Each structure stands twice: as C-alpha cells, then as structure tokens.
Amino acid sequence: MRIALLGDIVGAPGRQAAAAAVPWLKQEKRADYIIANSENTADGSGLTADLYKRLKEAGIDGQTLGDHAFRRAPVRAALESAADLIRPANLPAEAWGRGHMKLEKAGLPPVFVMTVIGRIFMNNMHGDDPFECVERWLKTLPPRAIALVEIHAEVTSEKAAMGWHFNGRLACVFGTHTHVPTADERILSKPGTDDSIPGAANPFPGGTAFVTDLGMCGPLDSILGRRADRVVKQMTTGIPAAFDVAFGRPVAQGVIVEVDDKSGLATGIERFSLEVKPA
C-alpha cells in the first residue's frame, strides 16, 4: 500500500497545489490514500466547512488540523460530523471533534490516523502528553494495523522523539507545522543494523517511516507561505505588519510511504515537491 502525506495547505495557492497534486499522486505515484494537513487553508489560518468539502471533493481522503484547528468557529459542524477530519487528540475532552480517524476503501486495508500537538514552544494551543495519548490509542487498534501519527510541533527533537518512541509500532510518524520540508525521511533502524544508534544497543523493533516535517502546500516564493516583504518589514523594523498569504509559485510538498499490508510497517518513504502553474 502507498500513502501520500501532504504538508500544511496554506491559503488559495496551497489549495490549488494540493488539488493539482492529487491526480499526479494517484496516477504517477500510485498513491492509494492521500492525507493532508488543512489547518491553514482559509486565508492562511484555520479551515471552513466549505473548504473542507472542496478538498475532499478534490480527492483528499483524510484531513488533519493543528494549532489553528478552532480558528474559524463555523468549522465546528464539520469537525463534529465528518469521519475524515481530525484535530489534535491530546486536547481536553470538551474540544470540538475527534483526534483520530479510520480511512477505508474497497479492496484495501483500513488506515488509522491520529494527530497530536507538541508541547514545546506551541503557544497557540496547549495539549496533554502526546506520547501517552498515542499509547492509549494504540491499545484500541487491532494487531498489525496500519497506523500513522502526525505530530504538529515546533521543535524537531520532540518530533524525532515521537518517531523513535514508536519505532516498530507505527507505519509512520510525520511532522507538520513548520512549513519547511526536511531531508531526513527514512525507515528508522532495526536492532543490529549498520545505522543503529551509535554507542548503544538499539532498543527499538524498527520499521517505522519518519520525517521531521512534510513542508507545505503553498507559495514557494514566500516566507512559510506568507508575503516575504511583510515578514521582512516586521523583522527589520519591529513594526507589526499583516502577514498576508503570498501567491508566487504554488508547490505541493510531502512524502509517500510504502507499507507492508501484513506487518503494518513501512518498507519505503519518498519525499516529493511538485510545483504547479499558478491559477
């Protein structure tokens, strides 16, 4: 099975890039499922019920949200009714929506997905222990289930710790939030392999795909999807500026994970960056 994971969708250019990437991912890359983080879809911050539907209609099978999950109050109806839209699981029980989903297609094994929010330098949203949250969820899944966890976090070490902690128990751990694709995509090591942890015995079973950050679906000529001139002005003068979404060179970034149906673990991971023509 091949699962495509798209980075944070930022504004109109991100929506365009994500939608344009879907047929390419299905036809050229043979993706069986496509999952995207859509928390910045509405003008760069939040999601609306209408935009959720448009992304679904474009062919995205599952959508995740991060620290901007509740930025647009009207999204509540979609969060509480849609089975393919989730917010961070390690939030209080009173939070809108659900934190995990089960994606199903005829002729394919189901895919279980959870997203959690990091705890370090995440000022917009505060969550409980993400590690314990994932542990509890795993106990509810069937043996050898194909399960993926997104960690929406600022700090790279927190994302890496999530990957190693669940190495051998998840098909994939992938990071989002920072909008910059990292070049560390890999299958985490098994005990005794040449690339196991230096100076110590590798205590993890191995076989989990990992990448620190998927990047984004958005304008490449920007600063994290925002107009570069506005960001530079604030950083060089200290005067607040509106960080409007940029529009130059829409790009879809992410990874494709290949999973063994029998073991539920990863056999490959490939990073991609697809630039599309502006609308």
Instruction: Summarize pLDDT for 8-41 with one digit per residue, the tens.
Output: 999 999 999 999 999 999 999 999 999 999 999 9
Instruction: Summarize pLDDT for 196-230 with one digit per residue, the tens.
Output: 555 555 666 779 999 999 999 999 999 998 999 99
> 12 by DSSP, 3-state: which?
helix
CA of 276: how far to CAs of 13, 59, 124, 140, 248, in Å?
Answer: 10, 17, 31, 40, 10
> 23 by DSSP, 3-state: which?
helix
d(CA 138, CA 143): 9
CA Rg value for the chain:
18
Task: Decide: 89 and 96 in contact? Cβ < 8 Å.
Answer: no
Is the predicted pLDDT of residue 124 greater than 90, yes or no? no
126 is catalytic: no
Q: What is the mean pLDDT of residues 54-58?
A: 97
Q: Which CATH superfamily is domain 2-220+251-275 in?
A: Metallo-dependent phosphatases (3.60.21.10)
Instruction: Summarize pLDDT for 155-208 with one digit per residue, the tens.
Output: 999 999 999 999 999 999 999 999 999 999 999 987 555 555 555 556 667 799
d(CA 238, CA 150): 34
pTM over 0.75: yes
Which residue in the list 68, 152, 177, 179 is annotated as catalytic? 68
Instruction: Summarize pLDDT for 232-266 with one digit per residue, the tens.
Output: 999 999 999 899 999 989 999 999 999 999 999 99
Give the domain ranges of the chain.
2-220+251-275
* Tokens found for residue 138: 């795993």
Q: Which amino acid is at 181?
A: P
Percent of the chain whose pLDDT exceeds 90: 86
